[in-house]
Structure 1
Amino acid sequence: MSQDAPTVMISSQRMVPMLGRLEDQGWRVVHAWDLSDADRQAVRACIGAGDDVMKPEFLATLPNLTLVACVSAGYDGVDVDWCRARGIEVTHAKGVNADDVADHAVGLMIAGWRNIALGDRNVRAGLWREGTGARPSLKGRKVGVVGLGHIGAAITERCTAFGMEVNWWGPRPKPEAKWPRAGSLLALAEWCDILMVASAANAENRHMIDKAVIEAVGPRGMIINVGRGSLIDEDALIAALKDKRLGRAGLDVFEEEPTPAERWADVPGTVLTPHMGGGTVESLPAMVAQAIENVRRHFAGEPPLSPV
């Protein structure tokens, strides 16, 4: 490897499997958890998962950093405004795993709404149909989608195909959207039977699914979250499920990951998966490839493929 090879830093142990592909580009790769003073001076780009917390205090120790490339659709671990103010580009995996996450969201919906997960547990426990009485059909139900990005749009397409009525809400209007936008998040929650949370996370929307929104969905409703755990006030969600102020929930993301098993041991009406919605054998390599292409373009002085 040439001594002039650009230095790329990986932000966490999760990125270690990428080492070979990064080195194949002719880049020198260093680890965020094991940097020498010389490494800090040399780092020009950082690659990491979007939920890897990259604090400004740490990034400020990398004087020649000019790119943070996230290998995920989300980038909530990065202070984008801080980076932009210092000329640091931020990119993410745009649209690569949207269909897979949307499939997973619909899977959580069906498994929870129709008692499929509970039915599976009952059969294995010899309980047969205990607690799995007739449920309302999904056809004709009202679905509220929070966030109409690539994932939210893919969810709406799937729910529409199921014969469900879809509205959405996000902080910015989208005149090109085919579905009606609610006047507010609370209005969407009051209208819908099932609230699908697919928004990107940032400091401003932490806990936007709060007690009021949860209770607006109500005891006959369901909340699905495939966005980020920080979007929901998890304590309020758990309390509402236990008190039957919320009917059901399907979660693929949590405020703390891995989420403690004991936290959910006595919470009824839930289907839980371990942040696996976007991780398919097709999407994971594509996300890595997009991040690598963003770094390559950056070093070549070309526009990024998927800027935030």
Structure 2
Amino acid sequence: MLTLLLLVPIAAEHKALLLERFRVIEATDAAARAAAIAAHAAEVDLVLTNGSTGFRADEIAACTGLKLLAAQGAGYENLDLAAARAQGVATCNGAGTNDDCVADHALALLLSSLRALPQQGAALRAGIWRDDLPLYPNCRGRRLGVLGFGTIGRKIARRATAFGMLIGYHNRHPREDADGAYFDSAAGLAAWADDLVVATPGGAATRHIVDAEVLAALGPGGHVVNIARGSCVDTAALAAALAAGLIAGAALDVYESEPRPPQELLGLGNVILTPHIAGWSPQSVRATVENFIANVEALQRGEALPTPI
């Protein structure tokens, strides 16, 4: 039986799928992780982590029998791929397993921010009726800029189109299959857009791609949604823009400080925050686990991995 080092928390019903097939060493915090590697590194065949949790070069080197390093979701920014490849370790991720869930959550955040649902609920509880509240915009006719037009970005765009929004996007390159206007910079996209959804991969290339310049270009009626990585948005610049009314609102599922909440944003009434949960649903988590198992089985058969990195 293969030994799996599990670095991410998984609900019991999904963990059962792993326990049926593997000897599981669970290490979902820093202390347990260090202890597990110190005691069991030579026994580890498989590692299941995620993009933010990662797996370092020294840990890969310690696991001399490691065969597969896997990211549970699509992101893999903190997995040392170079070290894995140098050691002959196969790598895979969970591409496609939670795309619909993330896209659903992105639209929920956008609608909630546009319609100020938390603020309106708070006003009602305070005894304020609609006649004393400002009017908030609906979606139809608004221009949505999608920053990052991969699979998730395109799913977000299709959902927004169903609400009557117009789509523009920024990507490293224009896409022939894109149904929307292409912009060659984030600032150019923001200047065109009424609202901006961040769906680009994380990493050094996209760090603070949404900065003070992009926020200023978006303008005072604009809303920012981030379901990508916290590093993609300059938190200090976002807090300053929200406090000054340079943009209308923000709805974030990811933060530079996570798992700690973004302190700069907590006191602002025009911010919606969720705890990096966009890709999590019973269906999507099960799909990530089943995808991991499928990659292990393909590796054992000597076949190409279904979702290689």
Give the TM-score taking structure 2 as reference length: 0.90
Contact kept in structure 2, 1:70 and 1:91, CA below 8 Å: yes
Structure 2 Cα separation of the partners of residues 220 and 89 of structure 1: 47
Measured after TM superposition, the shift of residue 84 of structure 1 is 3.2
How many residues align? The count is 302
Measured after TM superposition, the shift of residue 221 of structure 1 is 0.7
Question: SS of 1:282's equivalent?
Answer: helix
Residue by residue, what CA displacement relative to the aligned partner does 1:160-197 show, whole Å, maximum 9, x if unpaired?
11111101111133222222221211111111010011
Residue by residue, what CA displacement relative to the aligned partner does 1:131-166 show, whole Å, maximum 9, x if unpaired?
731233321111000111221111110111111110
Partner of 2:30: none
Contact kept in structure 2, 1:69 and 1:295, CA below 8 Å: no
Equivalent of 1:20 in 1, 4, 16: 16
Structure 1 Cα separation of the partners of residues 37 and 275 of structure 2: 35
Residue type at the aligned position of 1:29: V
Residue type at the aligned position of 2:18: L
Partner of 1:8: 4
Residue type at the aligned position of 2:282: V
Pair 1:240–1:125, CA change in 2 (3 A):
same
Matches within 5 A, 1:65-76: 65-76=66-77
Question: SS of 1:259's equivalent?
Answer: coil
Pair 1:281–1:126, CA change in 2 (3 A):
same
Residue by residue, what CA displacement relative to the aligned partner does 1:211-240 show, whole Å, maximum 9, x if unpaired?
111221121111101111111111111111
Residue type at the aligned position of 1:248: G
Matches within 5 A, 1:265-284: 265-284=266-285
Unmatched segments (≥5 aa) in structure 2: 28-32
Matches within 5 A, 1:76-225: 76-129=77-130, 132-225=133-226
Work out the percentage of aligned pairs sharing the same amino acid: 33
Structure 2 Cα separation of the partners of residues 168 and 61 of structure 1: 43
1:54 aligns with 2:49: no
Pair 1:16–1:30, CA change in 2 (3 A):
farther
Partner of 1:29: 24
Measured after TM superposition, the shift of residue 19 of structure 1 is 4.5
Structure 2 Cα separation of the partners of residues 121 and 248 of structure 1: 16
Residue type at the aligned position of 1:158: R
Q: Which moved more, 1:48-57 or 1:209-218?
A: 48-57
1:63 aligns with 2:59: no
Structure 2 Cα separation of the partners of residues 206 and 286 of structure 1: 29
Q: Which moved more, 1:184-193 or 1:14-23?
A: 14-23
Measured after TM superposition, the shift of residue 249 of structure 1 is 0.5
Measured after TM superposition, the shift of residue 253 of structure 1 is 1.2
Contact kept in structure 1, 2:140 and 2:165, CA below 8 Å: yes
Structure 2 Cα separation of the partners of residues 150 and 132 of structure 1: 38
Pair 1:36–1:67, CA change in 2 (3 A):
closer
Structure 2 Cα separation of the partners of residues 70 and 190 of structure 1: 35
Matches within 5 A, 1:255-274: 255-260=256-261, 262-274=263-275
Contact kept in structure 2, 1:10 and 1:16, CA below 8 Å: no
Structure 1 Cα separation of the partners of residues 20 and 271 of structure 2: 44
Unmatched segments (≥5 aa) in structure 1: none
RMSD: 2.1
Give the TM-score taking structure 1 as reference length: 0.90
Contact kept in structure 2, 1:9 and 1:31, CA below 8 Å: yes
Residue type at the aligned position of 1:23: L
Structure 1 Cα separation of the partners of residues 25 and 282 of structure 2: 26
Contact kept in structure 2, 1:189 and 1:217, CA below 8 Å: yes
Measured after TM superposition, the shift of residue 49 of structure 1 is 2.4
Contact kept in structure 2, 1:19 and 1:29, CA below 8 Å: no
Residue type at the aligned position of 1:302: E
Pair 1:81–1:202, CA change in 2 (3 A):
farther
Structure 1 Cα separation of the partners of residues 255 and 38 of structure 2: 36
